[in-house]
Structure 1
Amino acid sequence: MYVEPGVMTSLGRFAPQLTGLPAAPAELAAIGHGLLIHEHIAPNYGVELSEHERRSVHLRRIEQVLEHALSIDPAPLTTARPPAKRAPGNCRHFTVLLVALLRAQGVPARARCGFGMYFRAGRGEDHWVAEYWNAAESRWVLVDGQLDAKQREMFGIGFDVLDVPRDGFLVAADAWQRCRARSADPDTFGLSFLNEAGYWWIAANMMRDAAALENVEVLPWDLWGAMPEPDDAVDMELFDELAAATIDPDSTVDTRRRLMEDERLRVPSKVRNAARQVLEDL
């Protein structure tokens, strides 16, 4: 199920330009580096984004993202743009684009939502990465599609971003179970620049990760169902179940899908964009 495009990962009318490429994750990630710029890291590239320019961070579908990129610069999609001509996005956009490109080359891939442990010492920062099936090694490999050479230097990255260690990026279920086992502190998982963290954030990312495992890669601020907000009580039992169903997703497919039929977890056709405070279609 992770080879065929989903609603968010379909390349649509741009597929002819982006199929038949080398299946190497490094080369595909480089396409994303040349098309996208992270809205919060843009100043490090000498780019100051206006509020109008930032609106593209709310685009969910990769076909829409590519269309927007071409509206900024009509060069072929495989041509790297200068930073000022890249489409603003975030870690989720880099990830979903990489997943879409990998799938277009016939490589099984999926997006994972969780926490990067390599941005700030002692903190798990809200983050998305791609995961692809390495057939030669018979394992799923994590790839951080956002971190180009500049960001690797900025954040002092010493590992291979094409094979992120499992303790470098924690899928949300892993962070949850570590906190429940008291081997990690839930108040260190969230987003530092918002000064927000806690079980509620981990639970929300777990729902986003579970949705991505079903080929619905939502925005980092999309809300629905039992997804808690800062002042909400967290249903610990429910999220213990979800953690068990997503920590090793290939061994729990049936269990996870049954659980995702629960109205508290099921992804609806409309979600609340918390950044805009409006209901939007997926």
Structure 2
Amino acid sequence: MTHPFDFYAAPGPMTTPGALAPFLSDLPHNVPALVHVVQGLLIHVFWAGRYGVELDDARRGEVQLRAVDRQLQRILELDPRPLAETRDPACRLVGNCRDFSVMLTTMLRAQGVPARARCGFGAYFEPNHYEDHWVVEYWHAAENRWVLVDAQLDELQQRVLGIDFDPLDVPRDQFITGGRAWRMARAEGADPAAFGIHDMSGLWFIRGNLVRDVAALNKVELLPWDIWGLAYVEGGDEALSDEDMAALDDMAALSGGDVAEFDRLRALYEVDSRWRVPRTILSFTGPEPVSIDLGLS
């Protein structure tokens, strides 16, 4: 099979810049500088007011852009200058934590650096709560380890949130992957209600993030409200079979540690439709889910 470093150093369907690849060629070749670039291109939909930006519905709709080529196209429509030039907050692409993470992942992969977006929960947004969140995990060759980076946390957000760690090296107890969260709730006594966002929480929410994290580990980084397979089971948790629960436990063990067990996780993803992202998914773009054709082969 493909070596993990080779796999994660190449783009996937959501991180392929396509015809806009030349715009990535003159970006800096170090993580701190790339994070700064990302922060100058995107504004978080929930934080816009903190930057003095009032969003209308059309601008909020930019969070529905999945693929980086579409995101880059919109970024350049808003401001055609080179990507390394910081935009005024009102001229940045509206996104969320997933988009900050996928954009940084794209830039790192374009430079041949193994990188992957991770879906899970941040422990640093509210006390005694694990907030729905995405970060980047990249291979630090000099230190021989995978490092977590929160590309969303600029100086303003660090100050507001009282962050006391380096966002360029997020501690493993501060970002909890979907698989780790599943194990905490299933086997370690953690309260499932502590995991979620807004008024949504529970084991079902953790399950969704586990499924999305597995997809991201297979380089299909979808939106936080996209659902398929085990992420969407009619009847909820009570409708899951013993076989489904065993599959979730197994995948959580494979994906939840500091370094995912690459070969087995990839093999299970390829053959099990409960995990593999199909061409057509459902997405909660509004109160009711809509069918989305991803165009995947």
Could you say which TM-score interval applies, normalised by the shorter chain?
Answer: over 0.9
1:90 matches 2:96: yes
Per-residue deviation, 1:199: 0.8
In the other structure, the counterpart of 1:206 is: 210
Q: Partner residue of 1:59?
A: 65
How many residue pairs match? The answer is: 280
> How much has 1:230 moved relative to structure 2?
9.5
Contact 1:26 1:162 in 2 (8 A): yes
Displacement of 1:250:
5.1
| Matched position secondary structure for 1:161 | coil
Q: Which residue of 2 aligns with 1:272?
A: 282
Q: How far apart, CA to CA, are the structure 2 residues paired with 1:159 and 1:87?
A: 27
Instruction: Provide closer, same or farther for how the CA distance between residues 73 and 44 of structure 1 changes in structure 2, counting only shifts above 3 A.
Output: same
- For residues 232-280 of structure 1, give each alpha carbon's deviation from its aligned partner in whole angstroms, at most 9, with x where no partner exists: 1244322101101212485622321332221222210111111242111
Residue 13 (1) aligns with residue 22 (2): no
User: How much has 1:79 moved relative to structure 2?
Assistant: 1.0
Deviates more, 1:32-41 or 1:253-262: 253-262
Task: Say if 2:180 and 2:257, in contact at 8 Å, map to a contact too.
Answer: no
The reply on whether 1:227 has 2:231 as its aligned counterpart is yes
2:253 to 207, 224, 244: 244
Q: CA RMSD in A?
A: 1.6
Q: Secondary structure at the match of 2:230?
A: coil
CA–CA distance in structure 2, aligned partners of residues 197 and 92 of structure 1 = 18
Paired with 1:218 and 1:251, the residues of 2 have a C-alpha distance of 19
Secondary structure at 2:9 match in 1: coil
1:229, distance to aligned residue in structure 2 (A): 6.4
Deviation of the 1:179 alpha carbon: 1.5
Tell me the residue number matched to 2:113. 107
Cα separation, 1, equivalents of 2:207 and 2:224: 13
Question: Are 2:281 and 2:292, in contact at CA under 8 Å, matched by a contact in 1?
Answer: yes
| 1:30-81 deviation line (CA, Å, top 9, x unaligned) | 1111111111110111111001111110101111101001111122211111
Output the TM-score relative to the length of structure 1: 0.95
SS at match of 1:257: helix
Contact in 1 for aligned 2:27/2:84 (Cα 8 Å): no
Query: Which digits, 9 at most, give the CA deviation of each residue in 1:153-194, with x for residues without a partner?
Result: 111111000000000000111111112223421110010x2x
What does 1:69-148 align with in structure 2 at a 5 Å threshold?
Answer: 69-148=75-154
Counterpart of 1:253?
262
Instruction: State the alpha-carbon separation in 2 of the partners of residues 49 and 41 from structure 1.
Output: 11
Shift of the 22–75 alpha-carbon distance from structure 1 to 2, 3 Å rule, reads closer
SS in 2 for 1:226: helix
State the TM-score, normalizing by the size of structure 2.
Answer: 0.90
Of all paired residues, the percent bearing the same amino acid is: 48
Q: Do 1:225 and 1:264's aligned partners in 2 also have CA atoms closer than 8 Å?
A: yes
Q: What is the Cα deviation at residue 122 of structure 1?
A: 0.4
More displaced, 99-108 or 245-254?
245-254
